[in-house]
Structure 1
Amino acid sequence: MRFWTGGYTADMGGGADGVGTLLAGSMHDASAGGPLTYEGAAAPAPSPSWLARHPSADVVYAALEGIGKVAAFTRTGEAALARLGPAVEVGENVCHIAVSPDGGSLIASCYGDGRVVRVSLDAAGTPSNPVAGAPAANPYALPGEDMPANFVLGEASAPADDGAVLLRDFRASLAAAEEGRSVEEPAAPAAAPQGAGRVSHAHSAAFLPDGRVATTDLGFDLVRIWRPTASGLRPDHEIVLPSGSGPRHMVVHPSGHLHVVTEYSCEVFTLGRNREGRWVLLGGASLAAMAGDTAAELASSRDGDFLYAGLRGSNTIATVRVRGAGETVEPVALVESGVDWPRHHIIQRDTLLVAGQRSNDVTSLTLDLRTGVPGRVRYRAEAPSPTMLLPVG
């Protein structure tokens, strides 16, 4: 089975040459459990740190992070790509791309300037006409600073709906469990939210089952909900996560729930729709991370029963079980990833592939399909500064 690999090139301190290819077993294998071989560059490009595939055309999109553009590539061979049209400028440090299910557009998330940009795709998959959505506002703004009208400052600093109560109760229960006390006992005072020092950092997007789009803002602790329009994105509403949590990447559960991993607090939160159709916080779980860890990617098993989060620092993979109808998550295990700085990972049947950005390699771990827990490293291949793994087809 073959994978496209994203990576950092020299412009961002990496050793990659562009979009690469990785072989797991033979190219005709339906699984990724075989030996790993890095085959080299499929197409030159400056720091294609995130990749996404068109749903019907044989086209791959790359976030060229260092130059703030999105490029399209069409497949010209088993392991070769060629540019499709000119790269489209979207924003500073574009780090994520999500392509719409109908193939008519993509959403680019820009870490550097916080921009969320809709890019049109024509019938061939060629990108054009980037349109930025409304900028995010700081929900933890201090008195006197600008903040959006649909937020209220209070104990939870959350929207004025049932999500505020759930957020407060969940965080209180989590803090109590960590400190070994009952939830009725007072918790230690929380650090004061940062005000003007916060900076917007858009980090990912996901197309939701109801036709809307969710995006994360890691800097403002927001999950933003948008309605796509013919000309761009219209803000619908926003969900505030705990101060300093840093929502990064998301997974849509088969049930329709949305799971969000937070980079700084190393937690997984679950969002769902209330009776009014607004997305609200339902709960979450700590990943039992070690001091100094930052979470990276969040991936799901095919049936949605397990989630896997990469933790950079301890270089581990956290396994989380999903229960109920997708609304409940609980930690299961923490295992070694076998790489330094697990930037990205992907599940293929009974195999977990992990991209080690700093160790310049990719590892494969076999999953126990009963417990959901990855085993020890089975295979390893050297690969330059890998940041993303994407199945070829």
Structure 2
Amino acid sequence: MADTLIWTGSYTVDSGGNGKGIGALLARPDGSLEPLGLAVACDSPSFLAVHPALPVVYAVHEHAQTVGVYRRSGSGVTLEPLGEAWTAGAAACHVAVDPRGRFLVVACWGDGQVLLYELDADGAIASRREVEPSRDPYDAGRPSRAHATLFLQDGRIMTTDLGHDLLRVWDYVPGKGLEAAGELALPKDSGPRHLAQHKDGTVFVVTEYSIEVAAVRAGTDGRFELVSIGPAGASEVSDGDAAAEIALSPDGRHAYVGVRGSSRICTLRITGGPAGDDGTGLEPVADTPSSGDWPRHHLVHEGWLHLAHERSNDVVTFSLDPESGLPAGPAARLETGSPTALVVGGSA
């Protein structure tokens, strides 16, 4: 195993945070973290994505309602703006890059917009397209709250709408943008937030409000159906809890859910067989204190779990037991202002 570069998003003073912009840190094979400094100063880059082939990083500037493009300068970790920032929507909170590097998708929590930005050969933004607005499947008059994007194994795109309890599926059509290819309503007021796809095709969705994990899977006709939904954690939900991120272990045996409020990381065992039988489900194993305040995002990498604590201003690292999947530690702690996202950025 080699050292790994991790880019860190943050909340800055415009959002009441203590961050300065996009940071960089080095994760070593022994689990230790080394700060590499501020890569670029910018306003509240609350979520990040990395181009699959180019030294380019994308950031949503949540308070400024823009999406920025940054190119790595030389062999160091300095980032420089690649063109002007583009307009996004209210509280743009998530950005994801097409695995082929053709476009970005940005989700906006404030106004529910899902936006597509096509990229040029240098990774810069070339155009911006809006998509069809979400409609509340429960007709309850609730605001739309788009929150995350996942590129599916079959080439389609799935987005979450936390306000409408909705998963939306899209096809990308070059020159036209995203075209609706289906949707699935989750239980009312569950609040689907982030999501991850298992190697067997099942998509696991963490729900912010109900603190659950839903398993959904596409049938032979391509339409997604709800396979199961159950508690994210082994312990009771506390007042003020809000689920955040979900990540899967590389071997597909465990899932990890961060819960803000009670500040814990929930380990779940992935059960069931391959696609085609009665489904892949999740069984809560144990909850572990996250050793910080408000675990907003986390990253599973090379046998380690790195947790970004927005309110205690640190990144905490746990080792993961290869058999039980349970985190142990913490093994390392790195102070950094209001971290909100951790994204692998390649070699240092």
Shift of 1:129: 1.2
Q: Hey, what does 1:125 align to over in structure 2?
A: 123
Partners in 1 of 2:304 and 2:231 — Cα distance? 24
Q: Hey, what does 1:349 align to over in structure 2?
A: 302
Question: 2:71 is paired with a residue of what secondary structure?
Answer: strand
One-letter code aligned to 1:213:
I
1:300 corresponds, among 248, 256, 275, to 248
1:74 corresponds, among 71, 75, 88, to 71
Partners in 1 of 2:8 and 2:319 — Cα distance? 20
User: Which deviates the most, 287-296 or 98-107?
Assistant: 287-296
Partners of 1:225 and 1:238 within 8 A in 2? yes
Partners in 2 of 1:140 and 1:363 — Cα distance? 40
Q: Hey, what does 1:378 align to over in structure 2?
A: 331
The alignment-based identity, stated in percent, is 43
Q: Hey, what does 1:61 align to over in structure 2?
A: 58
One-letter code aligned to 1:283:
S
Structure 1: stretches of 5+ with no match in the other structure: 26-30, 142-194
Q: Hey, what does 1:181 align to over in structure 2?
A: none
Partners of 1:88 and 1:128 within 8 A in 2? no
Structure of higher CA gyration radius: 1
Shift of 1:329: 1.4
Partners of 2:103 and 2:117 within 8 A in 1? yes
Structure 2: stretches of 5+ with no match in the other structure: none
Q: Hey, what does 2:319 align to over in structure 1?
A: 366
Q: Deviations over 1:64-107 (max 9, x none)?
A: 11111111111113221111111111211111111111100011
Partners of 2:58 and 2:68 within 8 A in 1? yes
Shift of 1:348: 1.0
User: Which deviates the most, 84-93 or 288-297?
Assistant: 288-297
One-letter code aligned to 1:16:
G
Partners in 1 of 2:257 and 2:274 — Cα distance? 20
Counting only pairs closer than 5 Å after superposition, residues 139-218 of structure 1 correspond to structure 2 as 139-141=137-139, 195-196=140-141, 198-218=142-162
1:270 aligned onto 2:215: yes
Q: Deviations over 1:245-280 (max 9, x none)?
A: 000001011111111000010111111111322011
Partners in 2 of 1:129 and 1:90 — Cα distance? 12
Shift of 1:385: 0.3
> Which structure shows the higher strand fraction?
2
With normalisation by structure 2, the TM-score equals 0.93
Q: Hey, what does 1:233 align to over in structure 2?
A: 178
Question: 1:372 is paired with a residue of what secondary structure?
Answer: coil
Q: How many residues are aligned here?
A: 333
Partners of 1:273 and 1:279 within 8 A in 2? yes
2:232 corresponds, among 265, 279, 287, to 287
> Which structure shows the higher helix fraction?
1
Partners of 2:31 and 2:304 within 8 A in 1? no
One-letter code aligned to 2:127:
N
Shift of 1:199: 0.8
1:38 aligned onto 2:35: yes
Partners of 1:336 and 1:376 within 8 A in 2? no
Partners in 2 of 1:224 and 1:325 — Cα distance? 24
Q: Hey, what does 2:258 align to over in structure 1?
A: 310
One-letter code aligned to 1:249:
H
1:99 aligned onto 2:97: yes
With normalisation by structure 1, the TM-score equals 0.83
